[in-house]
Amino acid sequence: MFLHIYMYRLKCILRDKQNVFWTLMFPIILATLFYLAFSNLSNAESFTEIEVGIVDNEELREHPEFTEAVKSVPDLFNVTYTTKENAEKLLEDGEIEGYIHFDDGLKLFVKESGINETIIKSFLDDFLQTSSTISTIISQNPAAVQNGLPDSVFDRTDYLKAVPSGKAEPNTVVNYFYSLIAMACLYGSFSGLKEVLAMQGNLSYQGARVNMAPIHKAKIIIASMSAAVSFQLIAVTALLVYLIAVLRVDFGNQVGYIALTSIVSTITGVTFGTFISSVNRQSEGVKIGILIGSSMIMTFLSGMMYDKMKYIVHTKVPVLSYLNPANLITDSFYALYYFDTHARFFTNIALLCGYSVLFGTLTYLAVRRQRYASI
């Protein structure tokens, strides 16, 4: 009996083209777009040599130590020595970020205020400051010159020890994909809605007929919800496989935990849909509107449109981040990817399980109602 209902409900869900498009195809399309749009984003943040022009004039040649200093940082700059006029033109065309001109002192010409310009400036500051250091030392301890002071100028020690921030690089882009998965899981609510409509006598004629069958309502609910969860799992798995195998999004290496997250999240999504559609008697269109609207808000708050949103909510209104299933799903993947411990991951999973049970119970209580007030 269970299998009979389950198989037919699954068939119904699979044949609903619109539902299949939005829950299966749309997340994959969106993932592709994210991938195309964000693939270069982390490169944009990473450092590449800064294009700098240096005006080659008399005054520059009077300061060989400056040229030395420039040479000592080959990884920082890509230097072009040129005339003042050409440097101006290069700057205007965006070929260089700024040019250095010795003209009655060290001067930097830039087009805008940005991090690369700041780095050039800080290099010039560095040069001036080092000169100041040397002259202070010489004035205080003239013997230092003989003791190799000039040589030690460019002999720099790295006093910094890098500590990894987490298990993996803090690559913000992955969060977009994680919240996309959250969206896909929440779209399970559409199948949930469909199932409630199909079994509720006061919501559809088919439901009335189903109600006349000599079967306990709980059996129908469980079979229908299992069908919805199964389909949604197929959709989420397809998305995950696509993300991992085709788009090569990094999930950390924990297949078991990822599977657990997907299953729990899917159940949360489906029960959310059954909950919303069973507790009110609005039309199907209104219910779909509620589902789309709420999943959009929830995924927005978990960072799907603007990654930092998740952090802002987490620090400013922490309660909200625990109330938002989309955030819990996103955060579970994030925790698996980034954190070395599983404490936060399990908190998320526990909360998601809690919401599934809550939504499921509320659905049952609403659907179980045996006779309807009106049909």
Sites for other proteins among residues 296-355 (CB under 8 A) = 303, 307-308, 310-311, 314-315, 334, 338-339, 344
Minimum distance, C-beta of residue 261 to other proteins, in the bound complex (Å) = 18
Binding residues for other proteins restricted to 20-79, rule: CB under 8 A = 21-22, 26, 29-30, 33-34, 36-41, 44-47, 76
Per-position x/- string for 237-276, each x denoting binding to other proteins as judged by CB under 8 A, each - no binding:
----------------------------------------
Binding residues for other proteins restricted to 86-145, rule: CB under 8 A = 88, 91, 105-119, 121-133, 136-137, 140-141, 144
Site for other proteins contains 146 (CB under 8 A) = no
Minimum distance, C-beta of residue 359 to other proteins, in the bound complex (Å) = 24
Per-position x/- string for 175-214, each x denoting binding to other proteins as judged by CB under 8 A, each - no binding:
x----------------------x--x--xxx-xxxxxxx
Closest CA to 54 of 72, 79, 71, 75: 79
Q: 227 near 6, Cβ under 8 Å? A: yes
Closest CA to 255 of 244, 268, 271: 244
Site for other proteins contains 156 (CB under 8 A) = yes
Buried b (16+ CB within 10 A) or exposed e, 81-96: ebeeebbbebbeeeeb
Minimum distance, C-beta of residue 257 to other proteins, in the bound complex (Å) = 18
Site for other proteins contains 374 (CB under 8 A) = yes
Site for other proteins contains 215 (CB under 8 A) = yes
Q: 197 near 291, Cβ under 8 Å? A: no
User: In this structure, what is the dihedral angle of CA atoms 296, 233, 205, 4, given to the nearest 10 degrees?
Assistant: -170
Nearer to other proteins, 33 or 241 (CB): 33
Q: What angle do CA 212, 215, 221 make, to 5 degrees?
A: 100
Whole-angstrom distance, CA of residue 267 vs CA of residue 363: 13
Nearer to other proteins, 61 or 111 (CB): 111
How do 106-110 and 98-102 pair as beta strands? antiparallel
